[in-house]
Structure 1
Amino acid sequence: PGDVWFVKSAGPKAPASGNVYWILPLSVDEKGLGKAPSAFLRCEPNPFSGKLRILYLISEDGPVELSLYDVSGRLVKRISRGFVRAGAHTLYLDGRMYPSGVYFLRMKSPGFRRVKKLLLIK
């Protein structure tokens, strides 16, 4: 499908090294493109020691709940719960209020559930 170029040496004593380049046609197959995500959740930095930035996106207005759990599954803090407009949102969690350890941040919204493992280091 693409062009192949070969380079020959000029004489019998010329070095036999060189490069081979492949020139390939480029195309985009729209059938392979998936639907845009209806929501996402990202936490940074992770591991964290002070302030944790929580970024999330929802594609439709609706209820969203963000909750922090410890490694035993105990609810540590309900970070946010309520009706949220579609779009990107940012929240912050102050890690200085909690002991070092593994935590889980759970996000629930219609059609989307995600849990992120977090490591708090002091």
Structure 2
Amino acid sequence: FWLVIKGFGRYDSTYSPVFYIKRAPGIEEFANPHSAFRIPRLEVYPNPFSEKTEIRYTIQDARYRIGENGVASLKIYDIAGRIVKSFDLSTHHSLLATSVVWFGDDDLGSQCPPGVYFLYLRKGSFSALRKIIKFGR
């Protein structure tokens, strides 16, 4: 016997030898139909790093056309949540991978201390977050 709840009229019961799972035939749809087309990717290599690291990003959105520009932002936060470096990224084609190099410095050009940092990529309502570790030389 399976412990199930069924309700088919006046013979409602809390357990039954048979259970019924109702599934609609066909293909299930996403709650947001555009979510299948937009997948931000953010990769960091090497990680951890000491001198520099390459940050590769792709914002896949099949609705964008070639030549259509967009602005994405990449911000680097320290462990306390302060922004140490920010990049305003112009994307000419959202399906192509693009990269920037971070030399471990802040927006003023000073070297950041060794530690844990967080990379946050955002374009529109989509975002990606990665942890990166900088160690001393």
TM-score normalised by length of structure 1: 0.64
**Which entry has the higher C-alpha Rg, 1 or 2?**
1
RMSD: 2.3
Q: Per-residue displacement from partner, 1:41-95 (whole Å, max 9, x unpaired)?
A: 10111111111110001234422000111000011011x1143112210110002
1:90 aligns with 2:92: no
Distance 1:109 1:99 in 2: 28
Runs of 5+ consecutive residues of structure 2 not aligned to the other structure: 1-26, 28-35, 106-110
Instruction: Output the amino acid matched with 1:76.
Output: V
- Verify the 8 A CA contact 1:62 1:110 in the aligned structure 2: no
| Structure 1 segments (4+ residues) deviating >6 Å | none
**Letter of the structure 2 residue corresponding to residue 49 of structure 1:** S
Structure 2 SS opposite 1:106: strand
Runs of at least 5 residues in structure 1 that lack an aligned partner in the other structure: 1-30
TM-score by length of 2: 0.58
SS of 1:38 mapped into structure 2: strand
More helix by share: 1
What is the aligned partner in structure 1 of residue 133 from structure 2?
Answer: 119
Identity %: 32
Q: Which has the higher strand share?
A: 1
